[in-house]
Amino acid sequence: MIAVLALQGAFIEHRQMLQRLGVDTVEIRQLKDWERFMASPFEGRALILPGGESTVQMRLLKDLGLFEPIRQAILNGLPVLGTCAGMILLSEGYLGTMHIRVRRNAYGRQLGSFHTVGRVEGVGDDVPMTFIRAPYIEAVLSPDCQAIAEVDGHIVAARQGNQIALAFHPEVGTDTRLHQLLLSL
């Protein structure tokens, strides 16, 4: 069972991607949703922090009492995939579970959005990468965190133990490899 933070942003697309893989999902909108998910006997639990507006998502995490429970679950080993705004949420200064420093809106406004393909270490070549007002990783801050993809000299994906952070949106295409990577954790 995969939980998808459904406060704002591209959560529906992640659920649709996981449905294609035959994986059950649950939307996390309130603390009681999170508590029910964490109390469930499901094996293979994981969390997706979707793209959207990181400032809004962060405020809602705090206002709804989700910030600390989600942070602790990630620190205790819950696998998590953060895409775009979700990557920002994992970074230093936000949830702070991943040792990365992120530059928000690094590729500019909506008009700066673009699509490319690239190599993602542990996933393969020709991985579709759709960047929408995307951040990138300015720095990996510890040796236990590794850059796993770059575009034009900028780190756009990293992995640290149970955490995967992507500056791009794998949920908007048809390639399921990055969601399968999350499921393998």
Query: Which residues are designated catalytic?
Result: 84, 169, 171
Distance CA 105, CA 26 (A): 29
Query: Which alpha helices (H) appear in the chain, and where do they start and end?
Result: 11-20, 31-39, 54-63, 67-75, 85-90, 177-184
CA distances from 105 to 12, 108, 117, 161 (A): 22, 5, 20, 26
Gap between the terminal Cα atoms of the chain: 13
Cα angle: 170, vertex 78, 121; to 5 degrees: 40
φ and ψ at 161, to 5 degrees? 55, -115
